[in-house]
Amino acid sequence: MRTLHWFRNDLRLQDNPGLALACEQGEVLPVFIFDTDEPAESVPGAASRAWLDRSLRALSSSLGGGLLVLKGSAEGLLPDLCHRYSIDAVTWNRSYEPFAIARDTRIKQSLKADGLTVTSSNGALLYEPWESVKKDGTPYRVFTPFYKHCRANLATRAPINLKTKRLRLVPLEGPSNVDALHLTPSVPWDETMLSDWAPGEAGALARLEAFLASGIGSYRLGRDYPAQQSVSRLSPHLHFGEISPHLILARLADAPIDDNLEHFVKELVWREFAHHLLYHFPELPSKNLQEKFDWFPWVEDPVRLKAWQSGQTGYPIVDAGMRELWQTGSMHNRVRMIVASFLVKNLTQHWHHGLQWFWDCLVDADLASNSASWQWCAGSGADAAPYFRIFNPITQGQRFDPDGTYTKRFLPELEALPKQYLFDPWNAPHDVLSASGIVLGKDYPAPIVDVKSSREHALQAFAEMKRRAML
DNA sequence: TAGCTCGTTGGACAA
DNA sequence: TTTGTCCAACGAGCT
């Protein structure tokens, strides 16, 4: 029997239920298709494409070059492949994005009509989105009850060990090369961006072990400090399915049960919650979950948006974060909240702008997590933050980067500035600035908004939204 | 059912 | 310097 395993966001061999099933049934034809039918909201951004390129090369290599890589309409290509390679069955692991659900349903029907056996499995989530609903059958909208429900009532499975020796691959008709996808940019900025990452299954497993060895022990408190190495940095690996959450959970079983561990598990469940929200509210990437936010008086200001994107706002902790994003394809979680709050509240710009920029720049860009997180920051989402919770970029910097190590790493022009002025350089006396070799507005921007008055403006905008929504 | 509690990540200000 | 309190009000979720 010959089974085609359609790789999507499950670019790994271990704990891959679809692949394991295919392997049990006989010969396997492993296929990856860069689907050109995807809508704009799902097409990977530039940073993600660069990661995908490396990840596919790693997967192809671990399959001895036996991965068939194609670009085109998955819906059109799959029936043709099945015919050409005399395929009897097709397996894949489920994707929960609205487009993928609709596409996969159509493909399943069509292949079944052709007499093939089609099986989809859960390779990406600890809990199926339709399992985690309230007693009345409606989806959870608040994280904490969702978390308690999942942990108390839903079982997770053990990882599936693939005996790679038993993997028998169908010989390809011709050469297949990741190069054909043209996923990397013509100017090779991706090489420096990815220099600190190791895309692929081996890199993901190594990252998990490194985190268990040196990060998780101080996770609960350390995760708030961007200069520390206390976060897992597993998100891009999870997004591309280079590692499964089940495998992570199983590996955590060996670690001592304490606050740090429970906090990390909570973060894994936040990922589940984002997928749960996207599944139940497919318009999450574009529409305010709370309708009253349709009345919010957003400001369109391309100049300030550009300053935010390029890390030139004049607020060092914001600029450090935005430059980290540009340079590394990632940003520390604490700083993500600070820059998001700055865009949405201090600049009162629509969260769509932030979502779009993150989508293009992040190597871990994920439709569910990105959409749910931006809506959370904007206050328009489920379980929203109160509107008056506006991060102050000065005090956040002082509190969470007290030595300025993180900020100075990405703003070398402020290297000589004493840390007492690092987060509000415009308040530094002239002689301190000149001794530090800084002319504000030349070496480093003057602040593009006043944090106090822009906070007042944001609060007024929320009041205005409520007034309009009431009418 | 009706009532109660709580909501991932904060800021400002007073004491 | 640290700690406590208020900032609104509403709806989700639970008992």
Rounded CA–C1' distance between A191 and C1, in angstroms:
47
- Among protein residues, the one whose C-alpha sits closest to the C1' atom of C9 is A386
Q: How far apart are CA A447 and CA A434, in angstroms?
A: 18
Rounded CA–C1' distance between A395 and B15, in angstroms:
21
A8 and A19: one domain? yes
Angle, helices A393-400/A316-328, rounded to nearest 10 degrees: 70
A405 and A324: one domain? yes
A331 and A419: one domain? yes
Rounded CA–C1' distance between A315 and B15, in angstroms:
31
Rounded CA–C1' distance between A349 and C14, in angstroms:
37
CATH number (domain holding residue A352): 1.10.579.10
A269: the nucleotide nearest its CA (via C1') is B8
Nucleotides of B under 7 A from a protein CB: 6-12
Residue that finishes a domain, picked among A97, A123, A149: A123
Whether A229 shows a pLDDT value over 90: the answer reads no
HSE toward the beta carbon, residue A48, CA cutoff 13 A:
21
Residue that finishes a domain, picked among A259, A280, A301: A280
Q: How far apart are CA A471 and CA A460, in angstroms?
A: 17
Q: What does the pLDDT average to over A145-168?
A: 90
Is A163 inside a domain boundary? no
Phi, psi of A386 (to 5 degrees): -60, 150
A389: the nucleotide nearest its CA (via C1') is B10
Is A183 inside a domain boundary? no
A406 and A461: one domain? yes
Q: Which tens digits make up the pLDDT trace of A282-306?
A: 999 999 998 889 989 999 999 999 9
Rounded CA–C1' distance between A99 and B14, in angstroms:
54
A80 and A29: one domain? yes
A217 and A310: one domain? no
Is A182 inside a domain boundary? no
A336: the nucleotide nearest its CA (via C1') is B9
Rounded CA–C1' distance between A424 and B1, in angstroms:
54
Strand order in the sheet with A117-121: A68-72, A27-35, A2-7, A89-93, A117-121
CATH number (domain holding residue A36): 3.40.50.620
Least confident stretch, A83-87, A151-155, A205-209: A151-155
**pLDDT at residue number A220:** 87
**pLDDT at residue number A384:** 64
Amino acid at A235: S
Q: What does the pLDDT average to over A244-264?
A: 90
Q: Given CA atoms A343, A344, A348, A351 in this order, what sign does their dihedral have?
A: positive
A292: the nucleotide nearest its CA (via C1') is C10
Rounded CA–C1' distance between A415 and C7, in angstroms:
37
Is A309 inside a domain boundary? yes
A384: the nucleotide nearest its CA (via C1') is B7
Question: What is the number of domains present in chain A?
Answer: 3
Whether A414 shows a pLDDT value over 90: the answer reads yes
- Residues whose C-beta lies under 7 Å from strand C: A 134-135, 138, 140-142, 145-146, 148-149, 386-388
- Among protein residues, the one whose C-alpha sits closest to the C1' atom of C12 is A142
Q: What does the pLDDT average to over A308-319?
A: 96
CATH number (domain holding residue A218): 1.25.40.80
Is A417 inside a domain boundary? yes
Length of chain A: 471
Residue that finishes a domain, picked among A228, A258, A280: A280
Least confident stretch, A17-21, A111-115, A254-258: A254-258
A151 and A69: one domain? no
A295 and A249: one domain? no
Residue A207: Cβ-neighbour burial (10 angstroms; 0-12, 13-18, 19+): buried
Enter the tokens of residue A306: 């550009």
Enter the tokens of residue A371: 């959409």
**pLDDT confidence bin for A255, thresholds 50/70/90:** confident
- Among protein residues, the one whose C-alpha sits closest to the C1' atom of C10 is A386
Rounded CA–C1' distance between A151 and B2, in angstroms:
29
A84 and A135: one domain? no
The closest alpha carbon to A242, from A194, A191, A206, A189, belongs to A206
A131 and A115: one domain? no
Could you tell me what percent of chain A has a pLDDT over 90? 83
Is A184 inside a domain boundary? no
**pLDDT confidence bin for A319, thresholds 50/70/90:** very high
Is A286 inside a domain boundary? no
Amino acid at A301: D
- Among protein residues, the one whose C-alpha sits closest to the C1' atom of C7 is A388
Q: How far apart are CA A461 and CA A351, in angstroms?
A: 14
- Residues whose C-beta lies under 7 Å from strand B: A 142-144, 224, 266-267, 270, 333-334, 337, 376, 383, 385, 388-392, 395-396, 399, 451-452, 455
Q: Which tens digits make up the pLDDT trace of A384-402?
A: 667 778 999 999 999 999 9
Q: Which tens digits make up the pLDDT trace of A28-37?
A: 999 999 999 9
A35 and A6: one domain? yes
CA-to-CA separations, A374 to A170, A263, A277, A349, A442, in angstroms, rounded: 44, 21, 13, 12, 32
Task: Tell me which residue range forms the domain holding A213.
Answer: 125-158+200-280
Query: Which one-letter DSSP state was computed for residue A363?
Result: T
Residue A365: Cβ-neighbour burial (10 angstroms; 0-12, 13-18, 19+): buried
- Among protein residues, the one whose C-alpha sits closest to the C1' atom of C8 is A386
Is A442 inside a domain boundary? yes
A113 and A204: one domain? no
Nucleotides of C under 7 A from a protein CB: 7-9, 12-14
